[in-house]
Amino acid sequence: MDRRRNPFVPGAGLQPPELVGRGRLIENAAIDMDRVLAGRPARGLVLLGLRGVGKTVLLNRLRALADDKGFRTVRIEAPEGSSLPELLTPELRRILYALDLRRAAGRRLQRAASVLVNFARAFRVSAGDLELSVDLAPGEGDTGNLEQDLPRLLVAMAEAAADRHTAVGLFIDEVQYLSSVELAAVIVACHEIAQRNLPFLFIGAGLPQVAALAGKAKSYAERLLDYPQVGSLEHSDARLALVKPARAEGVAFDDAAVDEILAAAQNFPYFIQEWGYQVWNAAPASPVTRGMVLDASPEVVTHLDNNFFRVRFDRLTPLEQKYLRAMAELGPGPCATGRIAETLGVRTASVATVRQRLVNKGMVWSQRHGETAFTVPMFDAFMKRQMPELVRHVPQARRTENSGGLQ
Ligand SMILES: Nc1ncnc2c1ncn2[C@@H]1O[C@H](COP(=O)(O)OP(=O)(O)OP(=O)(O)O)[C@@H](O)[C@H]1O
Ligand SMILES: [Mg+2]
């Protein structure tokens, strides 16, 4: 069918034609935002879910909602290996200008600007022209200890926002890539702001392990933040995600075609978009039948393998790949960590560092102690396609392993 009119949008963070199944979550967040704007306390949230469930599009949707409601918002994505002050400083500077720093800046706004300059200097980041235009207040946000300085800075920003009768919204994607110090600093900041009842809301998104990481960073994080789960879609919503955008373009999917696609996609948003997109392009005409889906199927799987799964696979060392292949042998669900080692033919301790690297890379996580699960849906089946043979692991000298000799 006409590719120009294909409504499906497989990709990271691309707003789907129909954002289904998230109404309750959006409504709850909207209520939190209204409370904050009305000067009432609200807990921050961190959206948790596997790869491709729609955390980023939801985070962006919530940010747009906050903007519409009059929040001043900052959105950053924590990339692996970059620093939080570097990402935050230019964004907070933008907010200060948006709060109308130039026009008759109030005392609190001036103070926020000077704390930001101090903060930027302490973390060796540029605050641009702000450095020239503020009177510095030494001793505020300039210790170089992020857990002290970030709360100071965000408190000052929220106070400035309160003066301007607005609120600050901090949106952070990929929270699992924050370092433990950065995550602790964000949590302490939320805690201090909550105690002062200032107009501020933190909304994060990340892989499911973030809840445990936050608890580890600060034990009170569990009570300070909510962790709504973002998962695969209810069957009726998944159906809607496929059928409604097509219908808007005058295209129908037979029920059997829909069932076939949803079974393959296991109701996961990203896979629905990808199947919808590829089947649309391959199908000769409307209505789309089950036969057309089956005809397109091998190509869709190849496409997914060469793109979505492959980019993740290519970031792994051979040893990490072997580890995941052993996991795949045990099926799609969480498995006992000890069984993975057993499958590889080694003791658990000898592959503990490999496992930890896979956690750090966001490939696996553990819901319960002693368990390991994939963060990418259907990665087990991909691993079996990619590496049909299960290879047992023969550990070499420890020194070689740590220096990457096995990689
Ligand atoms: N509720 C939804 N309904 C339909 N499609 C959706 C929905 N949520 C997300 N999608 C689609 O799923 C795909 C993945 O979305 P997104 O990038 O937000 O996922 P993610 O959870 O952030 O993934 P990752 O963990 O890899 O960053 C996109 O193509 C998006 O359009
Ligand atoms: Mg994302």
User: CA 181 to CA 186: how far, in whole Å?
Assistant: 9
Protein residues with C-beta less than 5 angstroms from the ion ligand 2: 56
Report the atom number in ligand 1 closest to the C-alpha of 272.
5
Amino acid at 271: F
User: Is any ligand 1 atom within 6 A of the Cβ of residue 229?
Assistant: no
Q: pLDDT by residue (tens digit) across 292-346? A: 999 999 999 999 999 899 999 999 999 999 999 999 999 998 999 999 999 999 9
User: Is any ligand 1 atom within 6 A of the Cβ of residue 22?
Assistant: yes
Query: How far apart are the CA of 58 and the centre of ligand 2, in A?
Result: 9
Cβ atoms of 276 and 247 within 8 Å: the answer is no
Residue length of the chain: 407
Report the atom number in ligand 1 closest to the C-alpha of 51.
25
Helix (H) or strand (E) holding 76: strand 72-77
User: Is any ligand 1 atom within 6 A of the Cβ of residue 346?
Assistant: no
Mean pLDDT within 141-164:
94
Share of the chain above pLDDT 90, in %: 80
User: Is any ligand 1 atom within 6 A of the Cβ of residue 9?
Assistant: yes
Query: How far apart are the CA of 7 and the centre of ligand 1, in A?
Result: 15
Report the atom number in ligand 1 closest to the C-alpha of 11.
29
**Phi/psi at 164 (5° precision):** -95, 15
pTM of the model: 0.91
* Residue-wise DSSP of 271-320: HHHHHHHHHHHH--SSSB-HHHHHHHHHHHHHHHIIIIIHHHHTTS-HHH
Q: pLDDT by residue (tens digit) across 200-225? A: 999 999 999 999 999 999 999 989 99
Q: Which two tokens stand for residue 48?
A: 């948790």
**Phi/psi at 201 (5° precision):** -140, 130
Cβ atoms of 74 and 172 within 8 Å: the answer is no
Tell me what pLDDT residue 103 has.
62
Query: Is residue 155 pLDDT above 60, yes or no?
Result: yes
Q: Which residue has the higher pLDDT, 253 or 134?
A: 253
Nearest CA, atom 29, ligand 1 = 10
- Closest of 23, 385, 46, 34 to residue 186, by C-alpha: 46
- Closest of 263, 402, 265, 393 to residue 329, by C-alpha: 393
Share of the chain above pLDDT 70, in %: 95
Tell me what pLDDT residue 128 has.
80
Mean pLDDT within 42-68:
96
Tell me what pLDDT residue 404 has.
40
What are the structural domains of the chain?
A: 23-226 (3.40.50.300), 233-313 (1.10.8), 318-402 (1.10.10.10)
Query: Is residue 136 pLDDT above 90, yes or no?
Result: no
Q: How confident is the model at residue 398 (pLDDT cuts 50, 70, 90)?
A: low
